[in-house]
Chains A and B, each alone.
Chain A
């Protein structure tokens, strides 16, 4: 099972995404609503992939991404953003994000597809 982390300050979003992705039993999923705690854990544990929200209090997703790409560059990152900050998500690709999702998601199935693509699981 691939280890993935989902980081968003909205717990109800974390719950629903975790619930959907757990269905296939392909992933071991950790969720974090506190970005500072999440960063410590992401740098310590070896996640294959993190799904990361851009707009978070205390530590925003872009700074988070920079630290991840510097310390654990092999970790894949999918950014999550609302449409109003889509430009940030797109520019985050320049600093190493592998893909991005816009909120509201097209569907949870689409989230899963992006995760699978990113991890090259077909």
Chain B
């Protein structure tokens, strides 16, 4: 008696799921963890309930509610460790199963390893990202030096041409194109650094509208032949005053600029491969504030919206729709930055247009 109580106590306090069988393979007992997980008491009360929980899909095998004995026969027959994947109520659980057979008693232990596995997967992913990030950071440092030299000399060249009054419209256009390409490269280099480090938090009160206009000014030379940009339904041009609207709050200007450039570059890349007539191409940007928060929304009609196959994982790293460029880090970085600002970014399709919505 004392022994049985002792065993009950031990089993019921175990987080592992435990079953005991007698020599006739009749179930002797199941512990609390098992009963809780499989709603085991109901199992024998109500056949409908049984159907609800069983058969769970195992490694290619199906567990029949009425042949639980034979299922455990199978477990016992294996007499070695193996894993069971169980789908229950839209969740996936993974158990490591250990079956120990004795002459008159068999024990089956189901150890829930879902958490351990998901932690392990997360850890592997983190290590992978860190290594790639470190490689990028090293490379970006090497790229920064020639970029600095290019940028400095371009500035000197422009100054010299201006001073000699020999600069013409065409020269200016070439210089602006190089400038905007350098800005784009700088942004790529900065993005790669975001993977490995937290840049210092420099949050101050800024006008989000001004930051958006400044970023658009930088981007405009690059994009004007590929897409039309509208802000709150008005055509964007370099004449728009950056303080025309005021949406002030505390944020890190460099980082939010980076997010805007990521979204602009993504839209640009989509338009670049689009066959749509330039007149019909529109990147609509909406920026406003209401009782629900501050919104910054990018909606483009470059294609037919975001590919439904990847839309649910579009913010995951290395997910890209671009087969000729891009490695799929931009949106992941954008999401990281927005989260650092306690905001939210989501992607969805609206009337066959791709929408990226940021809310602070």
Are the CB atoms of B137 and A107 closer together than 8 Å?
A: no
Are the CB atoms of B141 and A10 closer together than 8 Å?
A: no
**Nearest opposing residue in chain A for B151, CB measure:** A104
Question: Shortest beta-carbon distance, A111 to chain B, in Å?
Answer: 9
The contact of A20 among B152, B186, B189, by CB within 8 Å, is B152
Are the CB atoms of B156 and A85 closer together than 8 Å?
A: no
Does chain B have a CB within 8 A of A36?
A: no
Size of the chain B interface, CB-CB below 8 angstroms? 22
Are the CB atoms of B152 and A84 closer together than 8 Å?
A: no
**Nearest opposing residue in chain B for A108, CB measure:** B155
Supposing A20-B155, A83-B189 touch, asked if A104 and B140 sit within 8 A by C-beta, the answer is no
Does chain B have a CB within 8 A of A119?
A: no
Question: Shortest beta-carbon distance, B115 to chain A, in Å?
Answer: 34
Does chain A have a CB within 8 A of B166?
A: no
Q: Chain A residues with Cβ under 8 A from B155's Cβ? A: 20, 107-109
Supposing A10-B145, A16-B149, A104-B186 touch, asked if A84 and B156 sit within 8 A by C-beta, the answer is no
By CB atoms of chain B within 10 A, which of A17, A19, A20, A104 has the most? A104
Size of the chain A interface, CB-CB below 8 angstroms? 22
By CB atoms of chain A within 10 A, which of B140, B152, B159, B197 has the most? B152
Are the CB atoms of A19 and B144 closer together than 8 Å?
A: no
Are the CB atoms of A103 and B193 closer together than 8 Å?
A: no
Supposing A83-B190, A83-B193 touch, asked if A13 and B148 sit within 8 A by C-beta, the answer is yes
Are the CB atoms of B200 and A103 closer together than 8 Å?
A: no
Interface set, chain B 153-209, CB cutoff 8 A to A: 153, 155-156, 159, 182, 186, 189-190, 193, 197, 199-200
Enumerate chain B interface residues (CB-CB to A < 8 A): 137, 140-141, 144-145, 147-149, 151-153, 155-156, 159, 182, 186, 189-190, 193, 197, 199-200
Enumerate chain A interface residues (CB-CB to B < 8 A): 10, 12-13, 16-17, 19-20, 23, 55, 82-87, 90, 103-105, 107-109
